[in-house]
Amino acid sequence: MSENFRSIETKFLDKTNRISFKYNGKKYYGYKGDTLASALLSNGVHLIGRSFKYHRPRGIMTCGSEEPNAIVQIGGNGSFTEPNVRATEQEIYEGLEASSQNCWPSVEFDIGGINNLISPVIPAGFYYKTFMWPKKLWYSLYEPAIRLSAGLGKSPTQPDPELYDHNHLHCDVLIVGGGISGIIAASISADNGNNTVLIDDKNSLGGSTIYQNDENFKINDEISSTWLDKKIKELKKKQNLTIKHRTSVAAFHGYNYLLARESLADHKSLDERLNKLRQRLWKIRAKKVILATGAIERPLIFNNNDRPGVMLANSVKKYIDFFGVKCGNKNIIFTNNDSAYETAISLNKKGIEVVVIDIRKNSSSTLVQTTKDAGIKIYWNHAIVNTSGYRRIKSIQIMEMSEDGTNVVGKKTSLLCDSLSISGGWTPMVHLFTQSGGKLKFRDADQVFLPNTVISDQISIGSCNGDFELDDVIKNTISECKNFLSASVIDYDLLKVSCPKQKESKNIWLLPNNKPLGKTKPFLDFQNDSTAKDIKLAMREGFKSIEHVKRYTTTGMGTDQGKLANMHALGIISETAGVKMGSLGTTTFRPPYTPLTFGTIVGRNVGTFFDITRKTPMHDWHKDHKAQFENVGQWKRAWYYPKDGENMYQAVQRESKAARESAGILDASTLGKIDIKGTDASEFLNRVYTNAWSKLGISKCRYGLMLNEDGMVYDDGVTTRLGENHYLMTTTTGGAANVLSKLEDYLQTEWPELDVWLTSVTDHFATASICGPNSKNILKKLFPNLDFNDENFPHMSFKNAEMDGINCRIMRISFTGEHSYEINIESKYGKSLWEKCMDAGKEFNITPYGTETMHLLRAEKGFIIVGQDTDGTMTPIDLQMDWIVSKKKYDFIGKRSLYRSDTMREDRKQLVGLLTDNPKEILEEGAQIVKNEKKQPIEMLGHVTSSYFSPNLNKSIALAVVKNGKKLKGQKLLVPMKDKTINVTVSDFIFFDSKNERLNA
């Protein structure tokens, strides 16, 4: 294998820049500009990997993004490794390490190859059929075994260390594809004053024309590649034009919104990319889009068409004419059309032995004439019936085809070869067009799907629009662009183009064989190992829809998404079912066009930038005092403040006791706050809360419950009347944004006549809540001039106050059941307020407490937390909060739903208290509650919503929702856990101070 296969000079590589890389641990050399595939081929390496199911040896088939076989693992172990990289797209760089996938111990000798021998017993749907029973073996045996053999490549085991970026791009005209039609379009667009962007996925422009050196293809009497080369040079000087290389459009959405991945460093060595962006995801909004995505060659489907050394004919041509690499010394070309003759001529010119096998009976094309003139042997009306060679193709067997093409006849002829080029015609790349919502039409003449109708402002040009011949491509590209861009400046009008024309055509989706289908392996989807017989089997078993056949046989479901094989699958289905291909339709083309790394998708939004973090003005104080934080929505809330090595349980017990015995302080700044103003503010509150608001006096506070229109509890909080037409509503921390938008919705759409104005002021105020028997003493110290007499400042009332000349709002409200005040101050003074409270409270052992203690204290009082004790299926009646639902009000949001037959059912799940028989035993939140464990299936009555050990009661308490709970008070129920069953008794859900005596203590 030491032979150098790069025998041909090429101007496309930098021969002065020799690069070493490793493949499967062995060192090889290539040149700057090589892809991994071209570099390996130049070293005579064809065998790249093993196929997914049968572990058959597979080699490089193509030279682009459609590659099904040559997918490799890049990088060694650890964080830089990346699986499933197409060797045909990866450029080599100094120090590149690549290895084969899906094989063990090596790609040369792979144990999994045994699957190939037993393939007759593992047909399509094998897994569905085989692992059905016995059922109990699924978890212990089948699933682990399947998982072990599933998947391609190895995932990195550490976080991706590379940098990714997102950026927006707006342009007048976006052109996708830098082949000849894309270049002409870009030139016309830019010349006519459009801000133009041209995107191409390769490192240089020109598509396949740039290496078209055949005398048969001429533009203005120059060889087409020479002409195009000049045009590209001109293009680079144009104003209004941006060219993006190594950029692949991943998705084309409606309204001309596209996502494109630009590779900035994938072709650079690890040293060169250090601290540089690896890839950038462009979010493009274009006024007009021109798709020039080209076409890819179709394989031919015959027995054992998958061996290393079997390649698409045009790819073989690119490897010679572009990379200067011959794919073998003895070449055979197998075709059904004229384009493959270009490859034959190219090979012959370089002095490489070549033979052509054509399924047609003849062709009058000038290309074929040139081939004949060169003395190349052509076998007309022949088909390949078998190939041999395990790790590299060695020989083929051909037979003559019968008159109607459905069979093979006569004697087998064997031909030796080390490279087989196949060509089954061309498939326009309509992926992006259909992603954007475009509908396809079918052209019977050459059996291709073509762009038909689409609503967004776009056109398809060149071979992705079904023009396969140079003169058509150029003529139609110019006229289409002229119309589409209303272009007046055109310097292409007088182009003279000459090229060979395709005359005879013949297409057979599944070529005939002398053996029955069941004894052959004609591969369709090379990556997923689905064959023509799998498709036929699926159809025999009753699958009719193309989408179903695809999923059952996994055709088109690999990382290449079946770019090569899907058309043949459709063809075979339509032939077998006797349905016209046009009416069969295609499977859905979904983004991304080629796989994207997660890094590209998330961009900079990783680590601390994953989501916005909201912190209260007192946050630094909490941090300095060793608080543990809890995420509540985007907020970081102090969870508990461990002291001297306390764990969470110990800290919460201490904090809870201190709050009830003397004084506790909580940062309540995160509660949602909505400022409500307007002459109809009272009426508005009447409509959105379940209780009555019209009679609430100025400077008074009231607790309100808000429902959804379906009658279920949505949010709750205390609202204070600050003035005649001015309220301050508080909402739950997590519900703030949703409540505001819900209220806006009603105001704007249902009740536009109300004079009400809503403003979110959550971030404008910081709130310190001080509770406990000494709270009043602390407040007195903080506000010496304020009258804290219970008569003048009773529970559920509000006063304005000043602290060092700064306005404060003080609400006497309580979520703990203790005598309690909430002090609101402009945010920027929040930390200072907190520190002053701590100072003033020092003599009373004021104890900061976090959300966990808050939850415990409110649970002792049986106060609900919306979202914890409720889940969108609880009415106020279910929560035993009938007292807050006004009977007098004619209407409020959700009222009518409380009288639906279902919401009135008495055996709904209702909020109750639970006491464990063993008072030391703490229930788990979320635990299921049952009555009878013996009777199967066990009826689930409900679940535990909140559970704590109460230090103030010295016993375990819990809230739960239980079916028909109101009537079960005093009854024994069971909470079955993994290792035991806990006995509980249904109780009242107010566990502590049920007469509310402490509020005024």
Partner 1 sequence: MFIINCPFCGERDQSEFSAGGEAHIVRPKQPTELSDDEWADFLFMRKNIKGIQFERWNHAHGCRKWFNVIRDTSNDKIHAVYKMGEKPPSI
Of the residues 230, 276, 285, 905, which one makes contact with partner 1 according to CB under 8 A: 285
Residue 981 · residue 927 · CB < 8 Å: no
Q: Is 745 in the site for partner 1 (CB under 8 A)?
A: yes
Number of residues that bind partner 1 (CB under 8 A): 24
Return the range that interacts with partner 1 (CB under 8 A); candidates 52-60, 231-239, 573-581, 897-905: 897-905
User: In angstroms, what CA-CA distances link 590 with 251, 252, 284?
Assistant: 8, 9, 18
Of the residues 583, 647, 789, 901, which one makes contact with partner 1 according to CB under 8 A: 901
Return the range that interacts with partner 1 (CB under 8 A); candidates 411-419, 668-676, 816-824, 892-900: 892-900
Q: Which residues lie closer than 8 Å to 265 by C-beta, 6 or more apart?
A: 162, 272, 273, 276, 277, 278, 279
- Distance in angstroms (rounded) separating the CA atoms of residues 29 and 43: 8
Toward partner 1, which CB reaches closer, 344 or 706?
Answer: 706
Q: Is 612 in the site for partner 1 (CB under 8 A)?
A: no
Return the range that interacts with partner 1 (CB under 8 A); candidates 53-61, 722-730, 743-751, 776-784: 743-751
Of the residues 269, 502, 886, 897, which one makes contact with partner 1 according to CB under 8 A: 897
User: In angstroms, what CA-CA distances link 216 with 10, 211, 470, 633, 718?
Assistant: 20, 13, 11, 68, 84
Virtual CA dihedral for 588, 593, 597, 600, nearest 10 degrees? Answer: -110
Of the residues 828, 896, 969, 972, which one makes contact with partner 1 according to CB under 8 A: 896
Q: Which of residues 294-353 bind partner 1 (CB under 8 A)?
A: none
Residue 457 · residue 287 · CB < 8 Å: yes
Minimum CB separation from partner 1 for residue 770, in Å? 35
Residue 311 · residue 421 · CB < 8 Å: yes
Toward partner 1, which CB reaches closer, 453 or 789?
Answer: 453
Minimum CB separation from partner 1 for residue 611, in Å? 16
Minimum CB separation from partner 1 for residue 254, in Å? 5
- Distance in angstroms (rounded) separating the CA atoms of residues 998 and 103: 73
Neighbouring-strand partners of residue 798: 811
Please provide residue 336's backbone torsions phi and psi, each rounded to the nearest 5 degrees.
Answer: -125, 10
Q: Are strands 97-99 and 14-23 parallel, antiparallel or unpaired?
A: parallel
Minimum CB separation from partner 1 for residue 748, in Å? 5
Minimum CB separation from partner 1 for residue 743, in Å? 11
Minimum CB separation from partner 1 for residue 761, in Å? 15
Tokens at 453, concatenated: 């109708």
E-strand spans in 687-725? 701-707, 713-723
Angle (nearest 5°) at CA 260 between 447 and 557: 50
Q: Which residues lie closer than 8 Å to 730 by C-beta, 6 or more apart?
A: 671, 672, 673, 674, 717, 718, 719
Minimum CB separation from partner 1 for residue 731, in Å? 17
Q: Is 628 in the site for partner 1 (CB under 8 A)?
A: no
Virtual CA dihedral for 123, 125, 127, 129, nearest 10 degrees? Answer: -100
Minimum CB separation from partner 1 for residue 437, in Å? 5
Residue 542 burial (C-beta neighbours within 10 Å; 0-12, 13-18, 19+): exposed
Minimum CB separation from partner 1 for residue 282, in Å? 14
Toward partner 1, which CB reaches closer, 260 or 538?
Answer: 260
> Residues 416-455: x/- map of binding to partner 1 (CB under 8 A)?
---------------------x-----------------x
DSSP assignments along 480-524, one per residue: HHHHHTT----S-TT--EE----------SS---SS-GGG--BEE
Toward partner 1, which CB reaches closer, 453 or 647?
Answer: 453
Helix, coil or strand: residue 679: coil
Minimum CB separation from partner 1 for residue 897, in Å? 7
Toward partner 1, which CB reaches closer, 526 or 892?
Answer: 892
Q: Which of residues 252-271 bind partner 1 (CB under 8 A)?
A: 253-255, 257
Toward partner 1, which CB reaches closer, 133 or 899?
Answer: 899
Toward partner 1, which CB reaches closer, 47 or 284?
Answer: 284
Q: Residue 840 region, left (φ>0) first, then alpha (ψ -120 to 50), else beta? A: alpha
- Distance in angstroms (rounded) separating the CA atoms of residues 914 and 258: 56
User: In angstroms, what CA-CA distances link 965 with 448, 727, 895?
Assistant: 66, 37, 23
Toward partner 1, which CB reaches closer, 740 or 923?
Answer: 740
DSSP state of 97: E
> Residues 666-685: x/- map of binding to partner 1 (CB under 8 A)?
--------------------
- Selection from 616, 628, 732, 723 nearest residue 674 by Cα: 732
Toward partner 1, which CB reaches closer, 165 or 710?
Answer: 710
Toward partner 1, which CB reaches closer, 439 or 626?
Answer: 439
Minimum CB separation from partner 1 for residue 285, in Å? 8
Toward partner 1, which CB reaches closer, 119 or 897?
Answer: 897
Q: Is 710 in the site for partner 1 (CB under 8 A)?
A: yes
Q: Which residues lie closer than 8 Å to 9 by C-beta, 6 or more apart?
A: 324
Q: Is 406 in the site for partner 1 (CB under 8 A)?
A: no
Of the residues 709, 802, 835, 988, which one makes contact with partner 1 according to CB under 8 A: 709
Toward partner 1, which CB reaches closer, 127 or 255?
Answer: 255
Q: Is 748 in the site for partner 1 (CB under 8 A)?
A: yes
Q: Is 873 in the site for partner 1 (CB under 8 A)?
A: no
- Distance in angstroms (rounded) separating the CA atoms of residues 561 and 66: 8
E-strand spans in 24-70? 26-32, 47-50, 57-59
HSE-up (13 A, CA, CB side) for residue 941:
25
Q: Is 887 in the site for partner 1 (CB under 8 A)?
A: no
- Selection from 184, 198, 194, 193 nearest residue 231 by Cα: 184
Return the range that interacts with partner 1 (CB under 8 A); candidates 58-66, 249-257, 328-336, 943-951: 249-257
> Residues 749-768: x/- map of binding to partner 1 (CB under 8 A)?
xx-x----------------
- Distance in angstroms (rounded) separating the CA atoms of residues 581 and 588: 15
Q: Is 744 in the site for partner 1 (CB under 8 A)?
A: yes
Of the residues 128, 133, 883, 890, which one makes contact with partner 1 according to CB under 8 A: 890
Tokens at 666, concatenated: 């909580």
Rg (alpha carbons) of the chain, rounded to whole number: 37
Minimum CB separation from partner 1 for residue 456, in Å? 9
3-state per-residue secondary structure call for 546-567: HHHHHHHHCCCCCCCCCCCCHH
Toward partner 1, which CB reaches closer, 734 or 848?
Answer: 734
Q: Which residues lie closer than 8 Å to 421 by C-beta, 6 or more apart?
A: 311, 312, 313, 315, 316, 327, 331, 332, 333, 334, 335, 340, 343
Return the range that interacts with partner 1 (CB under 8 A); candidates 76-84, 105-113, 247-255, 721-729: 247-255
Minimum CB separation from partner 1 for residue 169, in Å? 13
Q: Is 741 in the site for partner 1 (CB under 8 A)?
A: yes
Of the residues 9, 493, 724, 891, which one makes contact with partner 1 according to CB under 8 A: 891
Q: Is 86 in the site for partner 1 (CB under 8 A)?
A: no
Residues that bind partner 1 (CB under 8 A): 253-255, 257, 285, 437, 455, 709-710, 741, 744-745, 748-750, 752, 890-891, 895-897, 899-901
